Amino acid sequence: MVKIGHYYENGQSFFRIYAPLKKNISIEIDGNNKTIELNKNNDGFWIGSCPALPEGSLYYVNIDNSKTLPDPTSRYQPFGVHGLSMIVKTQPAYREDWKGISIEQAVIYELHLGTFTPQGNLRSATEKIPYLAELGINVIEIMPISTFPGNADWGYDGVYLFALSPSYGTYKDLELFLNKAHEYKIAVILDVVYNHFGPEGNYTNNFAPYTKKSQTPWGAAINFDQNYSDGIREFYKCNVQWWLEDIGFDGMRLDAWAMIEDEKKPNIRREITDLAHDIGKRNHRKIIMIAEHLRNDPSVVSSDGDNCDAQWIDDFGLSIRSFLTKDPLDKLLKSFYLFDDIIKALKQAVVLDGTRMNHALNSYTGKSPINVKPSQNVVYIQNHDMIGNRVRGDRFVTTSNNDNFEKSLLAAFTLFSSNFRPLIFMGEEFASSSPFPFFESFTDNYLIKAVKEGRKSEWKFTGIEPFDSHAQETLELAHLKWNELSVDKNIRNFNIYSRLIRLKIKNIIGYDSYVMKGKLENTVVIKNSTSLTLLNFNQNNAEFEYDDRFEVLLDNSNKNKPFKLGPYGAQILIDKNQNIDLEF
């Protein structure tokens, strides 16, 4: 049980607030004129107790008898980021038979709760879990759910890291979602933001120096290593424990991991991953910790470094998208331009390994991944950033194909046939046409205007007007169109993805594979002991030479024949002389 903010213990309500430089801290309970005086300990925390307060009690924290503010460690903010904090009772998701999913077997589905279903909440998402089980994925990665301003946001503007956003539902809804996923043998990991706070509703610096002068691209960096940082480090470690143990998530996706600055030893990054793995051990289940580092640094997954289970690798998808689209409007694609980049990505996941310029960062980044295991790389064709950071938030299937699905399916065959752990973004499996532009619901007019002007300036070079991030219509555009699953081409796309996922999980493809260039230009052959994947990145036909012991198992086009692929064709074949279990 996390002992920070409000918590119950031995029939009492306790409050423990970090405010090392303040002279007086008290809790004001709303509606009954009750005040709980807290006493300061030597560690800078103020603590006090009273008879157990009922669930739903509302309170403010009074600082030095001059200012009343929400609790930075609030578990629920029913009236928004500026309102009263609420006391809640929670219990962790629990199934005795649930042991989690290892990173070595993970097939990940990234989703945004607010746009995954028409209702945009946990209850409606729970109803979709049987669908996800039918698809075949075994890990759901949920974009951040901590409380943000308003009722619509990607989640990276969160300011109450312990508080489930009320727009998504209640903790009971979250418990039911997790238990339902576990019933279907699906792990659920949570995207968390430990590198900055959002720009509206962040009152932490009224309590302690939670941030420092150093900047991230999104605001002040967190103070993990300067004066009075010990209580701030505890805040974040308690947050890890809250979501993984007190609530029951199966791991975390760690946003912008490289933006977490800490000169102390051990650094907070290693303390976070060690704590997470310890939680897994004492709960007898697997915990997955995946970093979005974006510097291609092997130390992120090294046992001597941050000890994450895996890291996101953008290079894989960007090299494929760049070659297939030649899109001059996508700034992320400028670092990738050669077919050999695809070959390199298939062999080692990373392309930018310190040998050439990373144009997104205007510097040489990355190191050789020589000691990195394949399972320590999470790869994808697209994720929320790759879609949402385009001027109109368009997906790969609409960017590259103009309703010709072969290119996007070629990319999918490449993804799942790689040795790495695949991730897909919600709706990708049925070739969703819904864009995923950036949206927010700030209440501060200055911020609303600044975001609009900033996005217009960013995309001025394209001559295209970006969507209004504050408009309700932009949020509605991002909702998945589930009726597309009644269209033949979308059904076919879903069925191919489902087969690819099952082939991946059964290690028929994407396991211990050898990658080589085909004899024809811009073709690839991926081979392991049970299967053969042929990929044609040409706009012309391509023919491969192999003996007839192989038979076609899966194909991305009705136009292909065995070993003879049409433009942007892809094919998986198996050795028919081997006894391979194809029952799914």
- Any idea which residues carry the catalytic annotation? 255, 292
The pairing of strands 550-555 and 288-291 is unpaired
Question: How many degrees, rounded to 5, is the angle at CA 205 between CA 226 and CA 308?
Answer: 55
DSSP 135-181: HT--EEEEPP-EE-SSS---STT-SEEEEE-GGG--HHHHHHHHHHH
Report the SS3 class of residue 523.
strand
Q: Of 377, 192, 198, which Cα lies nearest the Cα of 272?
A: 192
How far is the CA of 279 from the CAs of 103, 139, 364, 402, 441, in angstroms?
A: 16, 19, 37, 47, 35
Annotate 480-507 with b (16+ C-beta within 10 A) or e (fewer): bebebbeeeebebbbebbbbbbbbbbbe
Query: DSSP secondary-structure letter at 245?
Result: I
Q: Which two three-digit tokens encode residue 56?
A: 């739903």
Q: Of 336, 321, 341, 329, which Cα lies nearest the Cα of 381?
A: 321
The single-letter code of the amino acid at 164 is L
Calpha distance 236→38 (Å, rounded): 22
How far does Cα 127 stand from its chain's mean position?
21
Question: How many degrees, rounded to 5, is the angle at CA 497 between CA 492 and CA 502?
Answer: 130
Burial of 395 (0-12, 13-18, 19+ CB in 10 A): buried
Q: Of 417, 374, 421, which Cα lies nearest the Cα of 556?
A: 417
Please give, one letter per residue, the 3-state secondary structure of 67-124. Answer: EEECCCCCCCCCCCCCCCEECCCCCCCCCCCCCCCCHHHCCEEEECHHHHCCCCCHHH
The CB-based long-range contact list for 470-476 (8 Å cut-off, 24+ gap) reads 470/439, 470/440, 470/441, 470/442, 471/439, 474/437, 474/439, 475/114, 475/115, 475/152, 475/439
Q: What is the Cα gyration radius of the chain? A: 25
Question: Is 16 in contact with 43 (CB distance < 8 Å)?
Answer: no
Report the SS3 class of residue 502.
helix
Phi, psi torsion values for 331, nearest 5 degrees: -65, -25
